[in-house]
Chains A and B, each alone.
Chain A
Amino acid sequence: MPAIDATDISKRYGTVTALDRVDLTVEAGEAFGFLGPNGAGKSTFINILLDFVTPSAGSVSIFGHDCQNDGVAARDRIGVLPEGYAPYERLTGRQHVEHAIRAKDADADPIAVLDRVGIRDAADRTASDYSTGMTQRLVLAMALVGQPDLLILDEPTAGLDPNGAARMREILQTELDRGATVFFSSHILEQVEAVCDRVGILQNGELVAVDTIDGFRDTLGGGTKLRITPETLHEDTVATVRRVAGVETAVATSEDRLEVTCTNDAKMDVLVALQDAGVDVVDFRTEESSLEDMFVEYTSGGHA
């Protein structure tokens, strides 16, 4: 049974379409990254999952429970780090976790949970005095209570320092190893790339692509980028490279630097073509396309 199964989900606010016929299945046990620029509809989708918002059309279920008609059962085995939340004003960190334990009818040690997210020392401080990063950790702690089968995290690294973000990744990996499903929405691509197996890209309310990160690389021309420093960079050098089969783009980024994106097996052909054209290569580096490159490729309209 899929962890999340959305069919034709749309949400309209007056004339504005926040989500447009989104179909998405997230299998149990996978780490799914939900990417999109601000305002793409990521939070609207999560709000529908949590029944904060009713869809204008379509339906979505969590482990077979309809999120709108059977919302409590749908949220019964999940941990959530929602967007736009605030801690309870007068409760300490420990009391927040205790509240989550009671609500989930779970058996957990609040201090151990707070220790896991790194805020054990602040357990008895009022949560409204916490920094943004500490509050994120606290709500992650609440989400982890009861060993949920699905973690829904909306921009979870917002406000976290690098150490906090690294700890969150470790925790998510542990949860994945335990067999939990992670649904991770973010616009910070490196976080998604570090955690997720599969990624969905949302733009203007439409799910424009869903694939594994390797799948995206294959789709987008093998995802190899060459940074070449020729001894001299003539005008026709760029044209020479562009003529090589498998080359997608070739741009002179400075007086002596050429950047080329191409399929993986065209790398050597580029260098050979330069050699044949009498251009000496002083230096060259290759790098795989980052998720950011792929994201830009999709959201800039090339593949949308």
Chain B
Amino acid sequence: MNWRPVARHEAGVLRSTRSFRYLLGALVATVLLSAYVYPVIGTPPYSTARFTGFLAGSLTGLLAFVGVLVGYGAVAGDRESGALRLSLSLPRSRLDVAVGTFLGRAGVLAGVLVAAMAGAGVLVVYPYGQLVVGPFLAFVGVAILYGSLWTGIGLAVSMAVATKRRALIVAFGLVLLLAVAWEPAVGLLEYGLTRAGLSTDGLPRTLKMLIGLVPGAAFERVVTSLLDPGAPPSGPSALGGVTSLGVLALWTIGPLGAGYWRFARSDLA
């Protein structure tokens, strides 16, 4: 494996590109602002553990957008410009490119999240909050996994298509479907079934579980089930926290694997 130079290069691209700096700056600002207003609009007792549930709501959508934006242009952009030909003429495989690009870009996003969460922790604890280290650190890890998942989806699309424009359309189509339109669509389905007299007690349990497999729902369930002590208990139809963690891992590996499979078999002509 020779992915390290690729990862280093990709991390450098992210750090040196102004639009990415703004994007990641917006993420940091959102996390810090949430921490700043948490003691004002949140419910006591204030702790870094309970803050995780407070923050998860705003991170679910935001990290989907940021993650996909970080990933979607990587391979497709280089493929379109011709930089990928230069890269692959060096002694490295397409797997090196896939792994290095993912780790380089997701690594920068992870670093930004760690820095933002460290600042947020200080804001939550000072002056009246309580530092509960375990759940807070675990939340940082889960947020990194969730952000990486979306970077992976963006990168998977980037590897599967030939142009950056197509990657943008497909990647944001997926964000709109899985992170924006999913809940309203489920609500609409539930309403339709009730109105049609096909269901009196909401959606069937199995369908609810399937619907709950989307990344955002899995992320929030991990937080509410495992990390935030103030969260209301999940309903009987919901997947458990540990299972949801597994779902997040599958969302990370699955799309990346599929994108790489297509990338590895395509001609770069």
Q: Of the listed stretches A69-77, A180-188, A210-218, name the one at the interface; the rest are far from the partner chain.
A: A69-77
Asked if A87 is an interface residue, CB under 8 A from chain B, the answer is: yes
Give the docked Cα–Cα distance between A83 and B96 (Å).
22
Asked if A224 is an interface residue, CB under 8 A from chain B, the answer is: no
Asked if B29 is an interface residue, CB under 8 A from chain A, the answer is: no
Residues of A within 8 A of B9 (CB): 88, 91, 99
Residues of B within 8 A of A44 (CB): 269
A-B contact count (CB 8 A): 80
Give the docked Cα–Cα distance between A91 and B87 (Å).
13
Give the docked Cα–Cα distance between A50 and B87 (Å).
11
Asked if B33 is an interface residue, CB under 8 A from chain A, the answer is: no
Give the docked Cα–Cα distance between A99 and B267 (Å).
24
Whether B85 pairs with A52 at a CB distance below 8 angstroms is: yes
Distance in Å from the Cβ of B191 to the closest Cβ of chain A? 48
Number of interface residues of B (CB under 8 A): 25
**A80-99 CB contact bits vs B (8 Å, 1 = yes)?**
10111111111100000001
Distance in Å from the Cβ of B5 to the closest Cβ of chain A? 4
Whether A75 pairs with B268 at a CB distance below 8 angstroms is: no
Smallest Cβ-Cβ distance to B2: which chain A residue: A103
Asked if B82 is an interface residue, CB under 8 A from chain A, the answer is: yes
Q: Is the interface of B mostly helix, strand, loop or mixed?
A: helix
| Known contacts A52-B269, A87-B83, A90-B13; A76/B91 CB under 8 A | yes
| Known contacts A52-B85, A52-B268, A86-B83; A71/B93 CB under 8 A | yes
Whether B83 pairs with A88 at a CB distance below 8 angstroms is: yes
Q: Which of chain A's residues 52-80 have a Cβ closer than 8 Å to chain B?
A: 52-54, 71-73, 75-76, 80
Asked if A242 is an interface residue, CB under 8 A from chain B, the answer is: no
Residues of B within 8 A of A104 (CB): 90-91
Asked if B206 is an interface residue, CB under 8 A from chain A, the answer is: no
Residues of B within 8 A of A102 (CB): 4-5, 8
Asked if B92 is an interface residue, CB under 8 A from chain A, the answer is: yes
Whether A82 pairs with B8 at a CB distance below 8 angstroms is: no
Whether A82 pairs with B267 at a CB distance below 8 angstroms is: no
Give the docked Cα–Cα distance between A86 and B90 (Å).
14
Whether B267 pairs with A80 at a CB distance below 8 angstroms is: no
Distance in Å from the Cβ of A10 to the closest Cβ of chain B? 14
Asked if B86 is an interface residue, CB under 8 A from chain A, the answer is: yes
Give the docked Cα–Cα distance between A105 and B16 (Å).
24
Residues of A within 8 A of B132 (CB): none
Enumerate 28 A-B pairs (CB-CB under 8 Å) in ascending A order: A50-B88, A50-B89, A52-B88, A71-B93, A72-B91, A72-B93, A72-B96, A75-B91, A76-B91, A80-B90, A83-B85, A85-B82, A85-B83, A86-B81, A86-B83, A88-B9, A88-B13, A88-B83, A89-B13, A90-B12, A90-B13, A91-B9, A100-B90, A102-B8, A103-B5, A103-B90, A104-B90, A142-B90
Which 6 interchain pairs have the tightest Cβ spacing?
Answer: A86-B82, A80-B89, A103-B90, A52-B268, A102-B5, A86-B81
Extra 6 A-B pairs, beta carbons < 8 Å, given A47-B269, A50-B89: A51-B88, A52-B85, A72-B91, A89-B81, A89-B83, A99-B9
